[in-house]
Amino acid sequence: APGITVALLALVWIGLPLAHAVLLRGLDHGGGVLVVVLLAAFAGDTGAYLGGRAFGRRALAPAISPNKTVEGFLCGVLAGTLAAWFAGLYDDWLSGPQAIVLGLVVALVAPLGDLFESFMKRQSGVKDSGTVFGAHGGALDRLDAALFAVVAGYYVWQAML
């Protein structure tokens, strides 16, 4: 039944990352790591958008999201990694190499959340996941990358402890 499928998808797609955010907060410096993860995800998303607009030539996944480019993806990875590194400069509990690894993994994984949501919207014939942010779409359009990033951030930080 479609209703059960949608409920299970919502549970996994949204519930699992939220559970990982709670688990992450329970680790040493977890609240700070959560902030760094979200910062890296949002910086990566912004860097990908700006880099794609400025340099984008080659489509990243044209069947899923035709406006995303390889160049935008690379700019996003750089922006997310640099954002985490920069945040690490101000945290005495986060070394430079830890910040770079955390930022790099988050910046690589976060676009998968964006592509996953684009895929789901394309399958459903929907342009945006809502209208909370006007022309920028719904809450999921803004948080899709962060949902995947939090899960990755949890496991990266857990491995570093």
How many domains, the chain?
Answer: 1
| Secondary structure of residue 66 in the 3-state scheme | strand
Q: Which segments of 44-160 are extended strands (E)?
A: 59-61, 65-69
Domain limits at 101? 2-160
Structure token pair of residue 154: 């949890």
Give pLDDT tens digits along the chain (161 positions).
677 887 788 788 899 999 999 999 999 999 999 999 999 999 999 999 999 999 999 999 999 999 999 999 999 999 999 999 999 999 999 999 999 999 999 999 999 999 998 888 778 777 655 555 554 455 666 789 999 999 999 999 999 98
Instruction: State the burial class of residue 13 (Cβ atoms within 10 Å of its Cβ: 0-12, 13-18, 19+).
Output: middle
